[in-house]
Amino acid sequence: MDTAKKFRVTIDEEQCKGCLLCVHVCENRGGKILKESDKKTALGGVKPVAEGDCIGCRWCERYCPDFAINVEEIKDA
């Protein structure tokens, strides 16, 4: 993993049910940047939010049951 790289985390608000599994896995295996927000998703759960520098490990993508979270490298950073 190249820590000099920059990553953008996008959460699909229509698909995300707000289970916060991504927050848990980011906290325990990732870069500890996904947090609970004070907002609700379209499906009524708690919307996660990315705060800080994502390390691009993609554990959140692998664990999200609804394919609602996407991590992409920012090429022009």
Residues forming contacts to ligand SF4 in the complex (CB under 6 A) are 9, 11, 16-22, 25-26, 30-31, 33-34, 48, 50, 54-60, 64, 66, 68-69, 71
Look at residues 9, 18, 68, 60 and name the one whose alpha carbon lies nearest to residue 41. 18
Q: In sequence order, what E strands does the chain have?
A: 7-11, 34-40, 46-50, 69-73
Q: How far is the CB of 77 from ligand SF4 (least distance, A)?
A: 15
Q: Which residue is nearest to ligand SF4 (CB)?
A: 30
Q: How far is the CB of 8 from ligand SF4 (least distance, A)?
A: 10
Secondary structure class of 4 (helix, strand, coil): coil
